[in-house]
Amino acid sequence: MNKAELVAKMAEKSGMTKKDTEVALNSFMASVEEALVAGEKVQLVGFGTFETRERAAREGRNPRDPEKKIKIPASKAPVFKAGKGLKEKVNATKAAKSSKKK
């Protein structure tokens, strides 16, 4: 599902116009982005948590010339950890589909 499809689905479920829904989605994404840049976590109970994790500096290899070692600098990586409710719904869907196939 891409952004346009997500906006259409959200508009359908909320009864809002697609334009208003897109504004709401963009505002949500901007708010999460600002929080992560500030080093904060965004927790949506039952859905999941957006946060950043530190990646240590490390040594890697150039894929074109495996003999050459390159230094990869430390960085922060944004991560999403699914919450219990989301995991249960995803797994319940898989269980329902696999039981129908039998």
What are the pLDDT digits (tens) for 78-96?
Answer: 999 999 999 999 999 766 6
Q: Band of the pLDDT at 42, cuts 50, 70, 90?
A: very high
Q: Which backbone phi and psi does 74 adopt, to 5 degrees?
A: -65, 150
The pLDDT assigned to 1 comes to 95
Average pLDDT, rounded, for the chain: 92
Is 77's pLDDT higher than 90? yes
- The kind and range of the H/E element at 37 are helix 18-37
What are the pLDDT digits (tens) for 63-73?
Answer: 888 889 999 99
Longest CA–CA separation in the chain, Å: 59
* Strand runs labelled E in the chain: 42-44, 48-55, 58-62, 65-72, 75-82
The pLDDT assigned to 101 comes to 58
| Rounded to 5°, angle at Cα 79 from 56 and 34 | 100
Superfamily of domain 1-89: IHF-like DNA-binding proteins (4.10.520.10)
Cβ–Cβ under 8 Å, residues 23 and 3: no
Domain ranges of the chain: 1-89
